[in-house]
Chain A
């Protein structure tokens, strides 16, 4: 009798806990529907791939992508702000964009200034002072080329809660801008949205 009573209690408790599963997070990213990655509120690889591809496709389709003199744009990646509630490495996004734009043949990227700057150029200039190095092979002063296009971006997040407070939605905005450094004019801008809806039981992060 006592054993049966305990078994019944355990079963009832298990049923209660099983009923407490949270609803799944649903994303409107079309690339995410066939993806088997973990579906949380945060931005995932498939979201960066989607945003980068859409931004690049739109940019390449715009008149701003092609210079009138036929030369390639010299690009520096500037400020890319993560204004969300998740710790995001924005290079997940900018690396994809850089790779696609270089492959198009219309863009080169600066290693001298901006997010992609390295110390290599300065270090190689020091080689001009070394007697061990063949000076004909060393880059001469005044040869580095300044960028003429700057890419900036921001990832923003808006939070909304349903009227009955059972669901929350996170709306991400990827905001990209390309600015002609010589004229100071914005040559291109696009806004890409991704929306995720899920349970309001916990804070999304």
Chain B
């Protein structure tokens, strides 16, 4: 076997792996682009109906991404049991804590995708998505009236939040270590020359991300707030302690996305201390506003220093972070403005900004390998078709197209997350009716409260053209 055949095998292998891994990437039941019209009008039931066939929930249970989106769609539409079942499946796919790639699934994904693209591998999930699973499970359990299950879910959520900050720091160290390895390997000269030429263009991938934030803000502040509120409104007298009620709310204060969120946490903690950690006649409002972040692909031509006119294509494809979009921005509930506690765009941006150097390094390294293989293949083509230049040109074009086909950015994202999660704490009105207004003051919906000491009001609006979805549940305080 000569050196040209060996390099041709590399390119052929890349194409073969692409075909195999395309199956691993899996299809999605609902195309995010197709849901846009429904999201603009907060028509959650229409989106959820796409995941139901013959009256049964239907989605790809082997795909973490499809399961997450189905679970969230059911939650948005008030189908709590279906949402709980789907999140239970998703939770098993996001059980990993370790920050290194050393599970069989992760190794297979990495080997397969170094030569091609992460887009062709199975969706691995993000650190913050694990916390969101347990958060939504807890909300599902509350809406189902299953206090015991909600307690388990909030316990899991609390542990994920402790781990999230540590795991995020470890993930950043790991990416930095891996990037350092690639820039020191034998092909480093080519790599570093290429990188310097295109650095300004590469920075476009993270231009939509605001400045660096403390690691604590990787946590879901709204979820931590509700973890404390759950204990304050549960039927268990044994949970009415500072450790169980106040500590989560203090944690929420540290991770809150806005000053209003910080102030709300401080005020609520103070009220609960005075009432001996038991809630007394409140309506707790959770409001999910807007649509979360997404990614688009952009391509950069790579000035490689091993190529000549024998190469017909060399470039990299990178994901560009697109911030999420608010709907109303906030809501007025009985005269009180909802306070932004968790900003999904900010959290996803933190995660992506840590991952991005690794994504860029992998893309450049992969292209160097594939382009060298393309050069070798085209050299062989020239030798074999010296008497038929047209045939030779067509074959070389095919080789270039093959490389372009395997050059693809991973733009997948959990598409139906909100842009932000907001909270309000309202004194229960004597009338038992709560009015929800838009920021401009126009009435959106009147909510009839259940006859219970405390209640949860769950509002969602992905766009400002429709009426927000509103769900209400009595909480078991004092039962």
Query: Which residues of A70-118 have CB atoms within 8 Å of chain B's CB atoms?
Result: 79, 81-87
Cross-chain contact of B107 among A20, A165, A200 (Cβ < 8 A): A20
In the bound assembly, the distance between CA atoms of A82 and B97 in angstroms comes to 24
Closest partner residue, chain B, to A166 (CB atom)? B98
Q: Which residues of B are found within 8 Å of A203, using beta-carbon distances?
A: 95, 97, 130, 156, 159-160, 163
Q: How far is the CB of B8 from chain A (nearest CB, A)?
A: 12
Interface stretch of the complex, out of B144-152, B207-215, B266-274, B367-375:
B144-152
In the bound assembly, the distance between CA atoms of A201 and B148 in angstroms comes to 27
Q: How far is the CB of B111 from chain A (nearest CB, A)?
A: 8
Q: Known interface pairs A16-B107, A17-B104, A81-B238. Does A202 touch B155 (Cβ–Cβ under 8 Å)?
A: no
Residue contact B156 to A205, C-beta cutoff 8 Å: yes
What secondary structure prevails in chain B residues at the interface with A? helix
Q: Which residues of A are found within 8 Å of B152, using beta-carbon distances?
A: 82, 84-87
Q: Known interface pairs A20-B104, A79-B236, A83-B151. Does A202 touch B97 (Cβ–Cβ under 8 Å)?
A: yes
Q: Which residues of B are found within 8 Å of A82, using beta-carbon distances?
A: 148, 151-152
Q: Which residues of A are found within 8 Å of B111, using beta-carbon distances?
A: 13
In the bound assembly, the distance between CA atoms of A13 and B112 in angstroms comes to 12
What mask results when residues 134 to 159 of chain B are scored 1 for a CB within 8 Å of chain A, else 0? 00000000000000110110011001
What mask results when residues 160 to 182 of chain B are scored 1 for a CB within 8 Å of chain A, else 0? 10010010000000000000000
Asked whether any CB of chain A lies closer than 8 Å to the CB of B387, the reply is: no
Residue contact A87 to B97, C-beta cutoff 8 Å: no
Asked whether any CB of chain A lies closer than 8 Å to the CB of B451, the reply is: no
Asked whether any CB of chain B lies closer than 8 Å to the CB of A179, the reply is: no
Q: How far is the CB of A131 from chain B (nearest CB, A)?
A: 39
Q: Which residues of A are found within 8 Å of B31, using beta-carbon distances?
A: none
Q: Which residues of A are found within 8 Å of B155, using beta-carbon distances?
A: 83-85, 157
In the bound assembly, the distance between CA atoms of A81 and B149 in angstroms comes to 11
Asked whether any CB of chain B lies closer than 8 Å to the CB of A1, the reply is: yes
Residue contact A200 to B102, C-beta cutoff 8 Å: no
Residue contact B107 to A201, C-beta cutoff 8 Å: no
In the bound assembly, the distance between CA atoms of A140 and B152 in angstroms comes to 44
In the bound assembly, the distance between CA atoms of A17 and B1 in angstroms comes to 30
Asked whether any CB of chain A lies closer than 8 Å to the CB of B103, the reply is: yes
Query: Which residues of A7-51 have CB atoms within 8 Å of chain B's CB atoms?
Result: 13, 16-17, 20
Q: Which residues of A are found within 8 Å of B104, using beta-carbon distances?
A: 17, 20
Query: Which residues of B312-360 have CB atoms within 8 Å of chain A's CB atoms?
Result: none
Cross-chain contact of A159 among B130, B151, B159, B237 (Cβ < 8 A): B159
Q: Known interface pairs A20-B107, A79-B236, A85-B155. Does A202 touch B148 (Cβ–Cβ under 8 Å)?
A: no
Q: Which residues of A are found within 8 Å of B95, using beta-carbon distances?
A: 202-203, 205
Q: Which residues of A are found within 8 Å of B103, using beta-carbon distances?
A: 20, 201
Asked whether any CB of chain A lies closer than 8 Å to the CB of B96, the reply is: yes
Q: Which residues of A are found within 8 Å of B159, using beta-carbon distances?
A: 85, 159, 203
Closest partner residue, chain A, to B9 (CB atom)? A2
Closest partner residue, chain A, to B102 (CB atom)? A20
Q: How far is the CB of A181 from chain B (nearest CB, A)?
A: 16
Residue contact A87 to B156, C-beta cutoff 8 Å: no
Asked whether any CB of chain B lies closer than 8 Å to the CB of A154, the reply is: yes
Residue contact A201 to B236, C-beta cutoff 8 Å: no
Q: How far is the CB of A41 from chain B (nearest CB, A)?
A: 11
Residue contact A200 to B97, C-beta cutoff 8 Å: yes
A–B pairs, 8, beta carbons within 8 Å: A1-B1, A16-B107, A82-B148, A83-B155, A87-B148, A165-B166, A201-B96, A205-B95
